Amino acid sequence: MTQIIGKPLNRVDGKLKVTGGAHYSAEFPQSNLAYAVCVGSKIARGKIEKIDTQVAENLPGVLSVITYLNAPSLQPLKTLLQGGGAGETRLPLQEAIVHYSGEHIAVVVADTLEQATYAASLIEVTYTGYSALVEIDKEREQAFAPEMPSRPAIITRGNPEVGLADADFRVEETYTTPTEHHNPMEPHATTAVWEGDKLTVYDATQYTYGVRQALATTLSIPEENVRVVCKFIGGAFGCKGSMWSHTILAVIAAREVDRPVKLVLTRSQMFNVVGHRAETEQQVKLGANRDGILTAIYHEGISHTSMFDMFIEPFTSISRMMYACPNLQTSQQIVRLNKGTPTFMRAPGEAPGSFALESALDELAYAVKIDPIELRLRNYADIDPSNNLPWSSNSLKECYQIGAEKFGWSKRNPEPGSMSDGIYQVGMGMASASFPALLFPATAKAHMLPDGTVVVQSSTHEMGTGVATVMAQLAADTLGVSVQQVRFDLGDTELPRAPVSGGSATTASVGTAVQAVARSLKAKVLEIARNDSNSPLHGVADAEVAVENGRVFIKNNPTQGETYSTLLARHNLQQVEAYHDGQMNSQQPQFSKHAFGAQFAEVQVSPHFGEVRVTRFTGVFGVGRVLNQKTARSQIMSGIIMGIGMALMEETVFDSHMGQIVNANLGEYHFPVNADIPEIEVYFVPEEDPHVNPIGVKGIGEIGITGTAAAVANAVYHATGKRIRNLPITPDKVM
């Protein structure tokens, strides 16, 4: 039964992608297609006094120009955090007020993209502008603790004040991370098609059903009248997890001109209107006794949100569960700025939070003069200290051990600045990694066809992670057929409902539904055989039957059996169908469910120019059952690469006067290219976790980035003796 699971199979959609057969959201052909181009505000705070569209409207090929003066009224939306599907609650083109630079203030529709782009450039806008509020430091007095029904603003256990006072060693430092942008290769794109009162939307999204619900709500139409299609996504990292305003604009534009409309955001527009990772400023205080045992943890700080939504980057969550400490306090505040609403970005909370926590742990290790791995082992949490629940599984100790061996940690001279390679200073750093193992309700349908092939369906999403491949593996393994005999359909609200592809929960959630529906399908087919007097399996109980290579047979007598196709043909069945509707377990949790890992980085630092190069990287992870070694390794590697970019390069820079992003392009927003990344070693600790979910997997999409930036920063300190607490670690800071 496990001949397929775990194998490093190639992606089932690989050929489609490399031959151009995979249709992304901007690539679905439509007859009589029109093109829409958005116009963004040139100010970050103020009011539109006049918007002149006459010249644009009179250009050849221009079909419509929509502004707040003629846009249809829209109904309020809820964000994903509020139980809706929107990225922000602010609706486009509903008023003259401007809250952030680049905010949509008009959309032009024309026969061609060139005509629409030129017309958009001719729209003249007169503003009354005010000084933009874009700096946390200047607005600190306006910070507030957000109301969160599920979690109090301040969380305390024990007596952290006493724990810190009793400590023999203390670390009290501030760590900052900048605003960062997702920058997936595929820009956000929407094609909207109205057929009477029916709407079909081809949208680059991680949540087809969320877009459907949000569009139906804001347009006041029945959900069943909205179909959302997204077959392939060219990267997302969280920014496509919610519906943004451009999707609404494409839909109202298509209705206005009575033609299909395609709207694709430019790269610079994507810096303003589809979310970002919020800037954070984090204060960490650690207390420890002479043996390095933690006596207190404080993790507090501030991040920003928009003027109209409350998005909080939950960077303190990792400190509550990562290490055993009797005394802890975490709290967060947010401040409103003239920026768009932040959103989820790969490992939201855990990525910036682990940078602060794991950097502070490294500082404590040097203060106590204990090896950084040993310090973490001494504070290993046998149970989750945040809720006193046992771990469903936790291989963190094994991750440390294997990582140290593979990386060669024993060769590290613990003295900062003591290692070199020619003119370069060499440093080694490490950090822990963790991310929660989440599970969402998901549904799936399966059909067995007369030739024994199987079609499995769920509306989940293929973001390049290999979802279609591992779902085919799960179904094939359960039904005893080859992967080539399984087709997995996804990315369409006409298919069974699937959750948002976020929180590293897709494989666990949809995979559980796929395995369950495959089991139901197998049971139906076996029931047909058991009740068939002409079948070799007549009257044989399911427990006595095995399935392999599309053939069902008696375990103790393999010659007595028949193929699926033979059985269905004898009954003249065109298909056998099964359906599974997964529901959440309403019982109180009995286990705490997390993936864990250990990250190891080696850097070379130029003492003359401050340049930092990561020369080696090793990551070891306990992530439950690995369904596909190849795609899993790729996911971890991509997270590590993104973490290296977070450590050394990524930063969105705002003009403090105008509130505009000054590096809104791929030339000046820096992230790693191939030449920046060394060979990355990824290892998995085998884990059998019967408690985490029915298929025993933990998410791997996000844990790879957690701890990575801290491991690099800790390596830079080891190389140079200079502690960089403000990301990214650029040459000017090292010098």
Sheet containing strand 46-52, strands side by side: 97-98, 46-52, 124-129
Taking residues 15-24, what's their average pLDDT? 94
166-211 pLDDT, tens digit per residue, is 999 999 999 999 999 999 999 999 999 999 999 999 999 999 999 9
Residue-level pLDDT at 585 = 77
The residues facing 631 across adjacent strands are: none
Do 434 and 713 form a contact (C-beta atoms < 8 A)?
Answer: no
Least confident of 60-69, 72-81, 271-280, 579-588: 579-588
Residue owning tokens 């003119």: 423
The burial of 668, by beta-carbon neighbours within 10 Å (0-12 exposed, 13-18 middle, 19 or more buried), is given as: exposed
486-498 pLDDT, tens digit per residue, is 999 999 999 999 9
DSSP-derived pairing of the beta strands 104-110 and 62-67: antiparallel
Sheet containing strand 594-605, strands side by side: 419-421, 424-436, 594-605, 612-622, 680-684
Q: How does residue 153 score in pLDDT terms, banded at 50, 70 and 90?
A: confident
Question: Can you give the three-state secondary structure of 118-165, one letter per residue?
Answer: HHHHCCEEEEEECCCCCCCHHHHHHCECCCCCCCCCEEEECCHHHHHH
CA distance 7 to 394: 23
Residue 677 has pLDDT above 90, yes or no: yes
Tell me, yes or no, if 398 is annotated catalytic. no
214-230 pLDDT, tens digit per residue, is 999 999 999 999 999 99
Tokens of 15: 């050929």
Q: Which of 180, 358, 650, 702 is catalytic?
A: 702
In single-letter form, the type of residue at position 386 comes to: S
Residues of the chain with pLDDT > 90, as a percent, come to: 98
Where does 280-438+589-734 sit in CATH, by number?
A: 3.30.365.10
Residue-level pLDDT at 1 = 44
- Residue 195 sits at the vertex; the CA angle it makes with 193 and 198, to the nearest 5 degrees, is 90
The HSE-up count of residue 433 (CA atoms within 13 Å, CB side) is 36
Taking residues 6-21, what's their average pLDDT? 94
CA distance 568 to 155: 60
CA distances from residue 294 to 163, 168, 325, 455 in whole angstroms, order as listed? 9, 10, 6, 53
CA distance 214 to 88: 11
- Residue 356 sits at the vertex; the CA angle it makes with 355 and 362, to the nearest 5 degrees, is 85
605-639 pLDDT, tens digit per residue, is 999 999 999 999 999 999 999 999 999 999 999 99
Percent helix / strand / coil, the chain, rounded to 5: 30, 25, 45
Residue 466 has pLDDT above 60, yes or no: yes
Residue-level pLDDT at 588 = 87
Quick check: helix, strand or coil at residue 380? Answer: strand
Rank 3-17, 137-151, 442-456 by mean pLDDT and report only the highest: 442-456
In single-letter form, the type of residue at position 202 comes to: Y
Answer whether 0.95 is exceeded by the pTM.
Answer: yes
Residue-level pLDDT at 149 = 63
345-389 pLDDT, tens digit per residue, is 999 999 999 999 999 999 999 999 999 999 999 999 999 999 999
CA distance 435 to 699: 8
**Cβ contacts of 657 within 8 Å, gap of 6 or more:** 131, 132
496-544 pLDDT, tens digit per residue, is 999 999 999 999 999 999 999 999 999 999 999 999 999 999 999 999 9
Residue 103 has pLDDT above 70, yes or no: yes
Residue-level pLDDT at 152 = 79
Quick check: helix, strand or coil at residue 364? Answer: helix
**CATH class of the domain comprising 14-21+440-581:** alpha beta
Q: How does residue 584 score in pLDDT terms, banded at 50, 70 and 90?
A: confident
In the DSSP assignment, the letter for residue 44 is S
Taking residues 403-425, what's their average pLDDT? 98
**The domains spanning 34-130+185-235+240-273 and 280-438+589-734 adopt the same CATH topology:** yes
Residues of the chain with pLDDT > 70, as a percent, come to: 99
Residue 150 has pLDDT above 70, yes or no: no
Q: For the chain, give every domain's residue range.
A: 14-21+440-581, 34-130+185-235+240-273, 280-438+589-734
Question: DSSP readout, 147-211?
Answer: P-TTS-SEEEES-HHHHHHT-SEEEEEEEEE--B----SSPPEEEEEEETTEEEEEE--S-HHHH
Residue 579 has pLDDT above 80, yes or no: yes
Q: How does residue 2 score in pLDDT terms, banded at 50, 70 and 90?
A: low
CA distance 224 to 536: 45
Residue 127 backbone dihedrals phi, psi, to 5 degrees: -115, 155
- Residue 730 sits at the vertex; the CA angle it makes with 728 and 732, to the nearest 5 degrees, is 135
Q: How would CATH label the architecture of 34-130+185-235+240-273?
A: 2-Layer Sandwich (3.30)
CA distance 134 to 495: 43
Please say whether the dihedral angle defined by the alpha carbons of residues 64, 67, 72 and 78, taken in this order, is positive or negative.
positive
**Cβ contacts of 685 within 8 Å, gap of 6 or more:** 395, 398, 399, 402, 620, 621, 622
Taking residues 39-62, what's their average pLDDT? 98
CA distance 34 to 177: 41
Q: Which long-range contacts (CB under 8 A, 24 or more apart) does 161-164 make?
A: 161/296, 162/296, 162/327, 163/287, 163/295, 163/296, 163/325, 163/326, 163/327, 164/285, 164/287, 164/295, 164/296, 164/298, 164/327
Quick check: helix, strand or coil at residue 407? Answer: helix
CA distance 262 to 259: 10
Quick check: helix, strand or coil at residue 71? Answer: coil
Question: DSSP readout, 484-550?
Answer: GGEEEE-SBTTSPP---S-TT-HHHHHHHHHHHHHHHHHHHHHHHHHT-TTSTTTT--GGGEEEETT
**Cβ contacts of 366 within 8 Å, gap of 6 or more:** 416
Residue-level pLDDT at 647 = 98
Residue 338 has pLDDT above 80, yes or no: yes
Mean pLDDT for the chain overall: 97
